[in-house]
Amino acid sequence: MIKTYRQMLEVMTPRERRGFYWQVLLLFVVGIFETAGVASVLPFMAVLSEPGSIHEGRILPRLYDGLGFTEPQSFMIFLGLATFCVVMLGIFAQIFALYTIQRFTNARAYSLSSRLLRGYLRQPYAWFLNRHTSDLGKAVLSEVDAVVNQTFMPAMKMISNFFIAGLITALLVAIQPFVALGAAALLLVCYLGIFVTARRWLTHFGKERYVANRERFRIAQEATGGIKDVKLMALEDSYIKRFQGPARRMARANTFKGVVGDAPRLMLQGIAFGGMLLVILVLLITGSGSLGSILPMLAVYAFAGLRLLPAMQQVYNQITLLRFNQPVLDGLYEDLKEIETNEQGLARVPEGEPVHLRERLELRGIEYAYPNTERAALRGLDLAIRANTTVGIVGGTGAGKTTAVDLILGLLDVQKGEMLVDGVPVTKGNLRSWQKAIGYVPQQIFLTDASVAANIAFGQPREKIDMAAVERAARIAELHDFVTRDLPQGYDTLVGERGVRLSGGQRQRIGIARALYADPDVLIMDEATSALDNLTERAVMDAVHNLGRRKTIILIAHRLSTVRACDTIFMLEHGRKIAEGPYDELIDSSRQFRAMAVGHPAE
């Protein structure tokens, strides 16, 4: 329990922690109002059962005389109304406390999900290579809600109910110590006995629920993400069976949690009835022996029981929830700590002066090894790319082509060596400016279920899309005629999720137009045409070569037909450059290139 509250406080910002402490103080005040409502029943029932008690003691006679009452009946009406007002004040205080708890905890959902997403997106690209995207999405969208609703909310409500139960118990002890302490001890033993017995199982099933939920998300994402393959290979039943396993385990875990949470309430209904009989007998034995004399005390116990038993049951329920959902909080806590620790080492640097490639892009002695791998992907790589030329980077699988491109893009950090633009090293201080000078076309174009224009101006709010830039980029990519002639709503036509309503060539052209939207100096195409047929590839490459000498174009390809027209071709092998030159020159001078050409004849 202490661990839960410690982790809750640690994932809050300093301002949120101050809000939490104010919230606890408010809940204590609400507990006082609730207790006052219970206490107010005693004088009213005393006067109701024994009107003569108005003139006994110190408080009632002063109140009776001070307010100018002349007959007991009017005073009883006043006490009844006053008791009702105090009780209602406690109820309204509870409603207000519920509102503040809801507001505070739901604000934490907004804060935590925003911090998680911001933290994830600010991690270096290499960080994502060892993460499953479904886990990240689940953490932001699902686990944050689970933590807030099943940990933060119960934790706050537990504090509220703990104050109410504690203060009401203190009131009963002050009125009748022996009976109150006996009843409290009985309830405490019952709840503790059940909780201690079930504690280990709550932890076990809580972990099982957490793991099963992760598996459900992964399987569902795989099945829906690869729906074409699933349909083609008739894998529907296979995925359904795979999904049913973790779904069944999660249902079993939730069932156990529900039973353990509600079992004490059912048991205590009988215990409460027996306890009330015991209270009556004890009061009769220790009192005057008259039922009328114990009626006020009995009314206080009955009314206190109406508030005390639900409060204690809720405290138990909330402890059960906290124990069951501790693995979810653990996961969120570890994620936040990791990404925020990483962020401290990744200080955001303001953008420097714009970087434009005017003369030469150079890679000098670049070495890079991916995390948790022994073999380096790049080993002393040297490349020199002249501005406004078209170059190709070729090589077999594992040659280091994509790694080299990711380094040029600034997605991976140079571990040894340096990258220079017009003789100026690319560092963290000017990396953002350099990235703004690059347009990138990957092999698989990511399209959102939005309009053609929104996909070309990817990431821009609708009102900030520059339609002139969209059309300019589309014309260069040989896309404009298709959009205006064949699409029913032109640039406002929705492309469908992942561009399912478009052909492969059309998706690639949108990718090229997106890369050209910001009019970059450098255009990089990473295997961007490898999945296309020959005719479509030729049309796409014609669009690229039409850029002429206006931009620096870097092509990564398996098929040599893609790079035949390049000014320079770099051939990589095992992370090193082994040859460079125009196509015809490499055919004559490089045995490895000739072998590759035989395997991939130019068309």
CATH 1.10.10.10 is right for the domain spanning 443-519: no
Residue 580 CA to residue 321 CA, distance in Å, equals 65
Residue 567 confidence (pLDDT) above 70: yes
Provide the pLDDT for residue 117. Answer: 83
Q: Which CATH code, of 3.20.20.150, 3.40.720.10, 3.40.50.300, 3.30.300.30, is assigned to 352-437+523-529+551-603?
A: 3.40.50.300
Task: Dump pLDDT digits (tens) for 57-98.
Answer: 677 777 777 777 777 778 788 888 888 888 888 889 888 988
Question: Residue 178 half-sphere exposure, CB side, CA atoms within 13 Å?
Answer: 8
Residue 369 confidence (pLDDT) above 70: yes
Identity of the amino acid at 169 = T
Residue 174 confidence (pLDDT) above 90: no
**DSSP E strand boundaries for 77-216:** none
Cβ proximity of 580 and 569 under 8 Å: yes
Residue 262 CA to residue 120 CA, distance in Å, equals 38
Cβ–Cβ contacts within 10 Å for residue 223, how many? 18
For residues 118-140, give the mean pLDDT: 74
Cβ proximity of 409 and 374 under 8 Å: no
CA-CA-CA-CA dihedral for 224, 229, 231, 232, to nearest 10 = 170
Residue 117 CA to residue 141 CA, distance in Å, equals 10
For residues 43-50, give the mean pLDDT: 72
For residue 168, name the pLDDT band (cuts at 50, 70, 90): confident
**2-343 and 352-437+523-529+551-603: identical CATH topology:** no
Give percent above pLDDT 90 in the chain: 9
Residue 69 CA to residue 54 CA, distance in Å, equals 11
Residue 603 confidence (pLDDT) above 50: no
Task: Dump pLDDT digits (tens) for 473-512.
Answer: 888 888 888 889 888 888 888 887 666 677 777 888 888 8
Cβ proximity of 253 and 208 under 8 Å: yes
For residue 25, name the pLDDT band (cuts at 50, 70, 90): very high
Q: For the CA atoms of the chain, what is the radius of gyration?
A: 36
Cβ proximity of 401 and 592 under 8 Å: no
Residue 291 confidence (pLDDT) above 60: no
Residue 599 confidence (pLDDT) above 90: no
CATH class of 2-343: mainly alpha
For residues 348-361, give the mean pLDDT: 74
Provide the pLDDT for residue 300. Answer: 67
Comparison of pLDDT for 276 and 447, the residue scoring more: 447
Cβ proximity of 451 and 499 under 8 Å: no
Burial class (CB in 10 A: 0-12, 13-18, 19+), 205: buried
pTM of the predicted protein model: 0.67
In the three-class reduction of DSSP (H, G, I as helix; E, B as strand; rest coil), residue 10 is classed as helix
Task: Dump pLDDT digits (tens) for 182-236.
Answer: 767 777 777 677 767 767 777 778 788 878 888 887 888 778 767 766 776 777 8
For residues 404-419, give the mean pLDDT: 89
Residue 90 CA to residue 304 CA, distance in Å, equals 13
What residue ranges do the domains of the chain occupy?
A: 2-343, 352-437+523-529+551-603, 443-519
**DSSP E strand boundaries for 6-67:** none
Residue 602 confidence (pLDDT) above 50: no
